[in-house]
């Protein structure tokens, strides 16, 4: 992968985001003969790298494939490690032009496309794709104590929490996985859930395990409840029966994440004034209200981050490159 930068570089296509959909777009651009570059602020497939260490995908391996390149996994549903290996091999074997650990700061129209400024270089590109996902900005609790070192929105590995009093906030897959894994590594786990049950989207093969642990009392749950404050050695929970304070060593706030909508708005992309704040784009071409500026992947869903996944947004890459090639043919 080309990691070089210069004062100003010019490309046909600049892709912001080196996740699976950004890489899929790079593969499509490469196949079409476009001069492209991928700019990623972290490591390759940075979001996957930050997923829990032992995570298993809901999707099967063939649904995570990009560019028609086979993804072979040991089990039907691949693990995070298998996915990272797959995407790394795709990027390396196809010598994709990816610049890692480089943050995009500005995307500015220049009359012939866009000027993209990063912390390292300036680029000019006729077309730009934003495929930045949603995993970098957490949904905060906005309560006292949330910034204490013992609180995290990014759960990684269960061993760290062995023999500790752990509170897991949330009801969906990430919360349930964290609760079960830390419980099995010897943590005393309490879940705090705003609703009256675990989430509808919890993986069907995990749900019975979670329900049985709750039923037998191995994992304590406060339903219809929420944290009101986090202290050094305890947490306050507002429950239907009143305020409860319990001992606590760590809080895993698995409250979800959101795309960088302010960045999209600053770029000039219109954001719908609705609850999901969906950015404006043409679903046939993925082009936004700004000509030659496209969206791809999860970022298209705004705050509704459960609409788009790798398996149903892979096609965005081909739509975008088809539109670019059609425009170039006209010119």
Q: DSSP of 140-196, one letter per residue?
A: ----TTTTSTTEES----GGGGTTSEEEEE-SSHHHHHHHHHHHHTT-EEEEE-SSS
Nearest-angstrom CA–CA distance, 217 and 234: 21
Report yes or no on 1 lying in a domain.
no
Do 103 and 93 meet the contact criterion of CB atoms below 8 Å apart? no
| Domain at 223, CATH number | 3.50.50.60
**Residue 127 and residue 12 share a domain:** yes
Angstrom CA distances, 184 to 56, 157, 163, 178, stand at 17, 12, 10, 10
**Residue 306 and residue 282 share a domain:** yes
Question: Which of 233, 253, 273 is at the close of a domain?
Answer: 253
**Residue 204 and residue 125 share a domain:** no
Phi and psi dihedrals of 119, rounded to 5? -75, -10
268 C-beta neighbours (distance < 10 Å), count: 13
Do 102 and 120 meet the contact criterion of CB atoms below 8 Å apart? yes
Angstrom CA distances, 69 to 89, 286, 303, 322, stand at 10, 23, 31, 19
**Residue 218 and residue 181 share a domain:** yes
Q: What per-residue confidence (pLDDT) applies to 75?
A: 87
Comparing CA positions, the residue from 136, 134, 135, 48 lying closest to residue 90 is: 48
Nearest-angstrom CA–CA distance, 83 and 311: 13
Do 97 and 36 meet the contact criterion of CB atoms below 8 Å apart? yes
229 C-beta neighbours (distance < 10 Å), count: 16
Report yes or no on 29 lying in a domain.
yes
Angstrom CA distances, 62 to 54, 55, 66, stand at 20, 17, 9
Comparing CA positions, the residue from 313, 278, 261, 307 lying closest to residue 19 is: 313
Phi and psi dihedrals of 133, rounded to 5? 65, -150
Q: What per-residue confidence (pLDDT) applies to 132?
A: 95
**Residue 107 and residue 25 share a domain:** yes
Angstrom CA distances, 226 to 36, 138, 245, stand at 47, 17, 12
**Residue 125 and residue 29 share a domain:** yes
Query: What is the count of structural domains for the chain?
Result: 2
Nearest-angstrom CA–CA distance, 143 and 192: 14
**Residue 22 and residue 133 share a domain:** yes
Report yes or no on 73 lying in a domain.
yes
- Give the domain range for residue 228: 140-253
**Residue 174 and residue 83 share a domain:** no
Q: What per-residue confidence (pLDDT) applies to 261?
A: 93
Do 185 and 161 meet the contact criterion of CB atoms below 8 Å apart? yes
In the structure encoding, which two tokens stand for residue 108, read together? 């500015």
Question: What's the N-to-C CA distance of the chain in angstroms?
Answer: 31
Q: What per-residue confidence (pLDDT) applies to 213?
A: 97
Q: What per-residue confidence (pLDDT) applies to 306?
A: 79
pLDDT per residue of the chain (331 residues) written in tens, 0 to 9: 654 445 678 999 999 999 999 999 999 999 999 999 999 999 999 999 988 888 889 889 999 999 999 999 998 899 999 999 999 999 999 999 999 999 999 999 998 999 999 999 999 999 999 999 888 889 999 999 999 999 999 999 999 999 999 999 999 999 999 999 999 999 999 999 999 999 988 988 899 999 999 999 999 999 999 999 999 999 999 999 999 999 999 999 999 888 999 999 999 999 999 888 999 999 999 999 999 999 999 999 988 887 888 889 999 999 999 999 999 998 7
Report yes or no on 122 lying in a domain.
yes
CB burial of 153-174 (b: ≥16 within 10 Å; e: otherwise) equals bebeebeebeebbbbbbbbbbb
**Residue 219 and residue 173 share a domain:** yes
Q: What per-residue confidence (pLDDT) applies to 275?
A: 86
Question: Which of 236, 253, 270 is at the close of a domain?
Answer: 253
pTM for this entry: 0.89
Question: Which of 219, 253, 287 is at the close of a domain?
Answer: 253
Q: What per-residue confidence (pLDDT) applies to 274?
A: 86
Report yes or no on 238 lying in a domain.
yes
**Residue 202 and residue 167 share a domain:** yes
Comparing CA positions, the residue from 22, 20, 21, 64 lying closest to residue 39 is: 22
Report yes or no on 3 lying in a domain.
no
Contacts with 250 (C-beta within 8 Å, 6 or more apart), sequence order: 150, 151, 152, 161, 164, 165, 166, 167
**Residue 145 and residue 133 share a domain:** no
Nearest-angstrom CA–CA distance, 292 and 316: 14
**Residue 126 and residue 15 share a domain:** yes
């Amino acid at each position: 992968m080309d990691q070089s930068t210069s004062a100003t570089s010019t490309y046909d296509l600049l892709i912001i985001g080196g996740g699976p959909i950004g890489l899929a777009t790079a593969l499509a651009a490469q196949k079409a003969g476009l001069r492209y570059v991928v700019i990623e602020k972290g490591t390759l497939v940075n979001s996957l790298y930050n997923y829990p260490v032992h995570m298993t995908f809901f999707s099967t391996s063939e649904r995570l494939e990009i560019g028609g390149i086979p993804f072979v996994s040991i089990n039907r549903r691949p693990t995070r490690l298998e996915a990272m290996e797959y995407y790394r091999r795709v990027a390396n074997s196809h010598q994709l032009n990816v610049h890692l650990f480089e943050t995009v700061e500005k995307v500015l129209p220049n009359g012939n496309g866009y000027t993209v400024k990063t912390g390292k270089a300036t680029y000019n590109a006729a077309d730009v794709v934003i495929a930045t996902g949603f995993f970098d900005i957490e949904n905060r609790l906005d309560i006292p104590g949330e910034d204490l070192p013992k609180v995290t929105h990014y759960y990684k590995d269960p061993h760290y929490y062995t023999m500790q009093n752990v509170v897991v906030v949330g009801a969906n897959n990430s919360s349930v996985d964290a609760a079960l894994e830390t419980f099995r590594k010897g943590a005393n786990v309490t879940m705090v859930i705003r609703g009256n049950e675990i989430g509808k989207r919890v993986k069907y093969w995990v749900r019975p395990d979670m329900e049985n642990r709750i039923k037998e009392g191995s994992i304590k749950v406060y339903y219809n409840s929420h944290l009101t404050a986090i202290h050094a050695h305890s947490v306050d929970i507002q429950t239907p029966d009143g305020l409860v304070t319990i001992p606590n060593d760590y809080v895993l706030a698995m409250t979800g994440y959101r795309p960088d909508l302010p960045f999209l708005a600053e770029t000039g992309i219109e954001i719908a004034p609705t609850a999901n704040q969906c950015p404006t784009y043409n679903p046939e071409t993925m082009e936004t209200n700004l000509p030659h500026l496209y969206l791809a992947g999860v970022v298209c869903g705004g705050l509704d981050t459960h609409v788009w996944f790798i398996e149903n947004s892979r096609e965005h890459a081909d739509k975008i490159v088809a539109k670019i090639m059609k425009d170039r043919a006209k010119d």
